Amino acid sequence: MRRCLSKHYYKDEHFVPLMEKIANEIINRVRQTIDIRTLLSSYTLNEAKNICYQAKQLLLQWKIEYQNTQSKLENDKRNFSTNRLYVTFALEIQIVTGEEQIIDCVLEHVSDFKS
């Protein structure tokens, strides 16, 4: 089974859509968890900060896993285009690719709203 999957995802046209599906699922779950309207009105400041922090950690972990997978594939002489994946997710992927300041800014704004 592993060999079949490995053989199937050897090429970009199979691997990139898989990574896109995973990224979309993560983004959708973060969006479901962080609804700004309810976040600021239904939770205490510490709860809201914790929810934002957990979402940030999830996105950062995705970035790490994505980069680890990419490195493994490149080490195996497999290479795939990150442009297609990154362009697809626009703003959300910026967070995953290192724009951590955006999340930090949101946490600061949450603090300001609750003060």
Instruction: Judge whether 41 and 110 are in contact, CB under 8 Å.
Output: no
Res 74 pLDDT > 50: yes
What is the average pLDDT across 64-77? Answer: 75
Identify the pLDDT of residue 107.
53
What's the predicted TM-score (pTM) here? Answer: 0.50
Q: What is the DSSP string of 36-93?
A: HHHHHHHS-HHHHHHHHHHHHHHHHHHHHHHHHHHHHHHHTT----HHHHHHHHHHHH
46 pLDDT band, cuts 50/70/90, is very high
Digit-coded pLDDT (tens) for 90-110: 455 445 545 556 655 555 655
Identify the pLDDT of residue 77.
55
